[in-house]
């Protein structure tokens, strides 16, 4: 997938005009890209359109219009766009109760490294996590992690040919296996491999 450039972005004024329709399009697009893994983890598989939305929203919220500041946002979000041989996801660990969440995050240290995808017929691919910075310490993990799942050329080809994709987590305190994600999710992820 191509990375975003300044030419791909709307000016603040133009974005304000199209924002309602653009947001509607993004919400529909996201439905096929958020995969629940058990009751407390969701993988938000990122792509170019979602990163464009993130950048546009940041520019709007912060009223950013200077070229160097726009480039800073592009440099921040472009690494989350899949490169054609991988899936990239934001992992969200979700517990509504604050006290329960704190206890869970203490138990789930290292969960990001035990999260996997599996192309049908191949071995599991474990996430390369948090390449930008460490998100856990000796006491707890973060509720948000950025993951990259790097596929072999054979796996990429299999997905393009329709192979199922499984996801899961095999952490001592959180174990979930989904042998095949639903077709709408699978097809959305297959599009990331172009």
What residues does each domain of the chain span?
Answer: 1-31+48-81, 33-46+84-194
pLDDT at 45: 97
pLDDT, tens digit, for every residue of 116-129? 999 999 999 999 99
Residue 136: pLDDT over 90: no
pLDDT at 135: 62
Beta bridge partners, 166, equal: 118
CA distances from 65 to 14, 54, 72, 73 (A): 12, 15, 11, 11
CA distance 147 to 127: 6
pLDDT bin (cut points 50, 70, 90) of residue 134 is low
pLDDT at 138: 77
What is the arithmetic mean of pLDDT over 22-31? 96
Q: Are 130 and 111 in contact (CB under 8 A)?
A: no
CA distances from 159 to 74, 89, 151, 180 (A): 29, 17, 10, 12
pLDDT at 1: 78
Q: Which helix (H) or strand (E) holds 125?
A: strand 124-126
Whole-number mean pLDDT of the chain?
Answer: 95
Question: Which alpha helices (DSSP H) does 31-161 contain, by range?
Answer: 48-62, 67-77, 98-107, 153-160
CA distance 89 to 80: 8
pLDDT at 182: 97
Radius of gyration of the CA atoms of the chain, in A: 18
pLDDT at 65: 92
pTM for the model: 0.91
Q: What is the CATH number of domain 33-46+84-194?
A: 2.60.40
CA distance 193 to 30: 17
Residue 132: pLDDT over 90: no
pLDDT, tens digit, for every residue of 44-90? 999 999 999 999 999 999 999 999 999 999 999 999 999 999 999 99
CA distance 52 to 90: 15
pLDDT bin (cut points 50, 70, 90) of residue 139 is confident
């Amino acid at each position: 997938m191509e990375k975003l450039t300044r030419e791909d972005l709307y000016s603040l004024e133009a974005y304000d005009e199209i924002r309602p329709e653009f947001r509607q399009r993004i919400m529909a697009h996201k439905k096929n890209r958020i995969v629940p893994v058990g009751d407390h983890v969701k993988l938000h598989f990122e792509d170019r359109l979602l990163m464009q939305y993130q950048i546009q929203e940041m520019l709007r919220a912060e009223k950013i219009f200077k070229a160097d500041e726009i480039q800073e946002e592009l440099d921040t979000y472009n690494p989350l766009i899949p490169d054609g041989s991988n899936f990239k996801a934001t992992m969200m660990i979700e517990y509504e109760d604050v006290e329960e969440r704190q206890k869970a995050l203490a138990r789930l240290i290292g969960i990001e490294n035990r999260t996997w995808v599996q192309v049908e017929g191949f071995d599991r691919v474990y996430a390369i996590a948090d390449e930008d910075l460490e998100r856990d310490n000796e006491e707890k993990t973060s509720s948000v992690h950025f993951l990259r799942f790097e596929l072999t050329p054979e796996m990429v080809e299999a997905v393009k040919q329709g192979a199922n994709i499984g996801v899961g987590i095999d952490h001592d305190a959180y174990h979930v296996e989904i042998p095949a994600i639903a077709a709408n999710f699978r097809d959305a992820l297959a599009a990331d491999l172009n």
